[in-house]
Amino acid sequence: MNILVTGGAGYIGSHTVRALIAGEHRVIVLDNLSRGHTAAARGALLVRGDTSDTGLLAELFKKHKIEAVMHFAASSQVGESVREPSGYYHNNVVKGLALLDAMVQAGVPYLVFSSTAAVYGEPEEVPISEEHPTLPTNPYGATKLALESAMRWYGDAYGLRFTSLRYFNAAGADPAGDIGEDHTPETHLIPLVLQVALGNRPHLEVFGSDYPTPDGTCVRDYIHVNDLAAAHVLALDKMASGARSNIYNLGNGSGYSVLEVIKAAEEVTAKPVKVKYGARRPGDPAVLVAGSQKIRDELGWEPCFAGLHTIVDTAWRWHLGHPAGYEERNER
């Protein structure tokens, strides 16, 4: 198929682009490069632009006979979203709606949407199933939920078919080692821990050690980015063969604490990771673990990189080869 991938130069987008190309799809990446990296989108045609540019979208849909969209382009930091909700509503909702409208206008039928566990808010129970109430506790989750809701109504009224994938903690890198996680600023646990192992940071601050968990630190469900990418391809194939719109969680179903992640990183890298204990980070639930049975049952998805050590090992390969990331910051 001919597929437009918005945000295809970003972390999860670029890994999905690679999976699509391996599946012999033709990929056009639309990315404004505010966070993405040109080198990450290699193998695809990269168009620098924004989903708010509906003229550009119409042109790309027509010129490249686009049959499906995967929509990754978004702002994705929980803390930043609390401080700057306006930017999140504009980037994630206003620009997302512009994309949906352009798709409807051009008759592009299928959308795979990058959603998040943050739509659930503080969990009432774990593992969290797709039936869990959606009560986001930050604008990031709220904006992703808002677009999911719009997609439903657009589906009913205009026939748009969508699959929304609610990721838990995306981590790791393609084992080839040439694409990986490079955010500025970096806020995610695994890259931060590996930056300490590399000697690029003096220590890792553990946010809270008094949670009601076995070792007192937060527990998360880490899922390899290539397993996320594979789920996007499966979701598209399923819709193209007639499946209705759907929403799926994506996680491994096992939780690891912050201290377990640090220990795994020390074992993988054979370097010590210095730790300082700090206060809880506002808005962090104690435990977030996915119930992913639905996507296993309905799409036949199975993680290939399920173990924490494997995930950390692939991330480490990327960091070792690219200690300063993509080194393209001059492009912004």
Which chain residues interact with ligand UFG by CB under 6 A? 76, 78, 116-118, 140, 169, 187-189, 192, 204-207, 218, 220, 258, 281, 284, 288
The distance of closest approach from Cβ of residue 206 to ligand UFG in the complex, given in angstroms and rounded to an integer, is: 5
CA distances from 24 to 15, 43, 45, 150, 301 (A): 15, 11, 14, 31, 19
- Closer of 103 and 114 to ligand UFG (Cβ): 114
299-332 exposure pattern, b = at least 16 Cβ within 10 A, e = fewer: bebebebeebebbbbbbbbbbeebeebbeeeeee
201 phi, psi to nearest 5 deg: -135, 145
127: left (phi over 0), alpha (psi -120 to 50) or beta: beta
Comparing every residue's Cβ against ligand UFG, the nearest one is: 218
277 bridge partner residues: 206
The minimum distance between CB 64 and ligand UFG, in angstroms, equals 30
Reduced to 3 states (helix: H, G, I; strand: E, B; else coil), residue 51 is coil
Query: Rounded to whole angstroms, how far apart are CA atoms 276 and 1?
Result: 49
- Considering beta carbons, is residue 44 or 286 the nearer one to ligand UFG? 286
Least Å from the CB of residue 264 to ligand UFG: 13
To ligand UFG, the closest distance from the beta carbon of 156 in angstroms equals 27
CB of 56 to ligand UFG, least distance (A): 27
For ligand UFG, give the closer residue by CB, 212 or 242.
212
Q: Toward ligand UFG, which CB reaches closer, 62 or 83?
A: 83
**Radius of gyration (C-alpha) of the chain in whole angstroms:** 19
Nearer to ligand UFG, 49 or 291 (CB): 291
CA-wise closest residue to 168 among 204, 127, 205, 108: 127
Angle at 63 between CA 62 and CA 69, to 5 degrees: 60
* Alpha-helical runs (H) found in the chain: 11-22, 54-63, 78-83, 85-88, 95-106, 139-158, 189-198, 225-240, 258-269, 293-299, 308-321
How far apart are CB 45 and ligand UFG at their closest, in Å? 28
Nearest residue to 130 via CA among 317, 312, 294, 245: 294
140 is catalytic: yes
The CA-CA-CA angle for residues 188, 231, 75, to 5°, reads 40
105 or 149, CB closer to ligand UFG? 149
Q: Which is nearer to ligand UFG, 2 or 213 (CB)?
A: 213
Which residue in 11, 140, 211, 256 is the catalytic one? 140
Q: In whole angstroms, how close is the CB of 63 to ligand UFG at the nearest point?
A: 33
Per-residue CA distances from 143 to 65, 139, 146 (Å) = 29, 6, 5
Element (H, E) at 71: strand 68-71
**Residues near 299 by beta carbon (within 8 Å), at least 6 away in sequence:** 231, 234, 235, 238, 248
Catalytic residues: 140
